[in-house]
Amino acid sequence: MKTIRRLLYGEVVIAVLLVTLGFVSLFYFFDFVEELQAVGKHRDTGYTVAQALLYVALMLPSHLYELLPITVLIGTIFVMARLAQSSEFTILRTSGLGPWLALRTLMVLGLGFVVFTFAVGDYVAPMADKSAQLLKSRYQGKVSVGKTGAWLKERQAYSHYAVNVGALAPDASMRDVRIFEFNNQGFLVSMTEGQTGTFGKDDSWQLNKVDHTEFTSTDANATRVERNFVDTFRWSTQISAEMVATAVLRPERMGTIDLFQYIRHLDANGQSAQKYEIQFWKKVFYPLSCLVMVVLALPFAYLHFRSGSVATYVFGGVMAGISFVLLNNVLGDLGALQGWWPWLTAALPGLIYSFISLTAFTWLVIRR
For 286-337, the DSSP string reads GGGHHHHHHHHHGGGGGS---TT-HHHHHHHHHHHHHHHHHHHHHHHHHHHH
Report the pLDDT value the prediction gives residue 260, as an integer from 0 to 100: 83
Domain assignment of residue 270, yes or no? no
Domain assignment of residue 150, yes or no? yes
Domain assignment of residue 134, yes or no? yes
Residue 87 CB contacts under 8 Å (≥ 6 apart), including other chains: none
Report the pLDDT value the prediction gives residue 178, as an integer from 0 to 100: 92
Structural domain that includes position 285: 2-141+275-366
- Residue 132 and residue 26 share a domain: yes
DSSP per-residue letters across 64-77: HHHHHHHHHHHHHH
Domain assignment of residue 164, yes or no? yes
Q: Please provide the average confidence, as pLDDT, over all residues in the chain.
A: 83
Q: For residue range 255-309, list pLDDT tens digits in order.
A: 788 788 878 877 776 667 777 888 888 888 999 999 989 988 888 887 766 555 6
- Residue 84 and residue 30 share a domain: yes
Domain assignment of residue 327, yes or no? yes
- Residue 8 and residue 95 share a domain: yes
Between 73 and 247, the higher pLDDT residue:
73
Q: Does residue 180 carry a pLDDT above 90?
A: yes
Q: Does residue 149 carry a pLDDT above 90?
A: no
- Residue 163 and residue 98 share a domain: no
- Residue 308 and residue 208 share a domain: no
Q: For residue range 197-213, list pLDDT tens digits in order.
A: 998 877 889 999 999 99
pLDDT band at 329 (very low <50, low <70, confident <90, very high): confident
The Cα–Cα gap between 82 and 88 comes to: 8
Q: For residue range 73-126, list pLDDT tens digits in order.
A: 999 999 888 888 877 777 777 777 788 888 888 999 999 999 999 999 988 998
- Residue 310 and residue 292 share a domain: yes
% pLDDT > 90, the chain? 24
- Residue 193 and residue 97 share a domain: no
- Residue 234 and residue 203 share a domain: yes
**Closest alpha carbon to 248 in 148, 121, 124:** 148
Decide which of 244, 259, 289 is a domain's last residue: 244
- Residue 107 and residue 57 share a domain: yes
Structural domains counted in the chain: 2
- Residue 125 and residue 150 share a domain: no
- Residue 184 and residue 82 share a domain: no
Domain assignment of residue 198, yes or no? yes
- Residue 92 and residue 15 share a domain: yes
